[in-house]
Amino acid sequence: MTKLGDWIEPHPHGIYIPAADAWIDPSRPSPRALVTHGHADHARGGHGAVWATRATLAIMDVRYGPQPGQPVDYGERVDFGAVTARFVPAGHVLGSAQIVLEHRGETVVISGDYKRRPDPTCAPFEPVKCDVFITEATFGLPVFRHPATGGEIDKLLRALHANPDRCVLVGAYALGKAQRLIRELRDRGHDAPIYLHGAMEKLCALYVAHGVDLGDLRTVAGADKADLTGKIIVAPPSALTDVWSRRLPDPITAMASGWMRVRQRAVQRGVELPLILSDHADWDELTATLIEIAPKEVWVTHGRDDALVHWCMTRQIKARALAVTVYEDEDD
Tell me whether residue 113 or residue 285 sits nearer to Zn ion (CB atom). Answer: 113
Contact region with Zn ion (CB under 5 A), list: 9-17, 36-44, 223-231, 268-276 = 36-44
| DSSP annotation string for 214-239 | --SEEEGGG--HHHHTT-EEEE-GGG
Task: Output the smallest distance, CB 114 to Zn ion, in A.
Answer: 9
**Does 39 interact with Zn ion (rule: CB under 5 A)?**
yes
Tell me whether residue 52 or residue 167 sits nearer to Zn ion (CB atom). Answer: 52
Site for Zn ion in 184-203 (CB under 5 A): none
Question: Tell me, what DSSP letter sits at residue 261?
Answer: G
Contact region with Zn ion (CB under 5 A), list: 112-120, 123-131, 182-190, 199-207 = 112-120
**Does 180 interact with Zn ion (rule: CB under 5 A)?**
no
Task: Output the smallest distance, CB 139 to Zn ion, in A.
Answer: 12
Tell me whether residue 30 or residue 96 sits nearer to Zn ion (CB atom). Answer: 96
Q: How far apart are CA 209 and CA 249, in angstroms?
A: 31
Task: Output the smallest distance, CB 155 to Zn ion, in A.
Answer: 24
Tell me whether residue 184 or residue 331 sits nearer to Zn ion (CB atom). Answer: 331
**Does 41 interact with Zn ion (rule: CB under 5 A)?**
yes
Q: Residues near 189 by Cβ (< 8 Å), separated by ≥ 6? A: none
Tell me whether residue 25 or residue 232 sits nearer to Zn ion (CB atom). Answer: 25
* Helical H segments across 131-229, by residue range: 149-162, 177-187, 201-209, 225-228
Tell me whether residue 172 or residue 248 sits nearer to Zn ion (CB atom). Answer: 172
Applying CB under 5 A, the site for Zn ion has a residue count of: 5
Tell me whether residue 184 or residue 329 sits nearer to Zn ion (CB atom). Answer: 329
Contact region with Zn ion (CB under 5 A), list: 57-65, 143-151, 281-289, 323-331 = 323-331
**Does 331 interact with Zn ion (rule: CB under 5 A)?**
yes
Please, what is the Cα angle at 230 between 226 and 236, to 5 degrees?
A: 95
* Helical H segments across 191-322, by residue range: 201-209, 225-228, 263-268, 283-293, 305-314
Task: Output the smallest distance, CB 76 to Zn ion, in A.
Answer: 22
Q: How far apart are CA 265 and CA 75, in angstroms?
A: 39
Task: Output the smallest distance, CB 189 to Zn ion, in A.
Answer: 29
Whether 172 contacts 255, CB under 8 Å: yes
| DSSP annotation string for 21-34 | TEEES-SS--SEEE
**Does 119 interact with Zn ion (rule: CB under 5 A)?**
no
| Among positions 15, 55, 85, 113, the unique one binding Zn ion when judged by CB under 5 A | 113
Task: Output the smallest distance, CB 25 to Zn ion, in A.
Answer: 8
Q: How far apart are CA 42 and CA 111, in angstroms?
A: 12
Whether 202 contacts 137, CB under 8 Å: no
| DSSP annotation string for 50-69 | EEE-HHHHHHHHHHHSS--E
Whether 132 contacts 320, CB under 8 Å: no
Tell me whether residue 137 or residue 273 sits nearer to Zn ion (CB atom). Answer: 137
The residues binding Zn ion (CB under 5 A) are 39, 41, 113, 329, 331
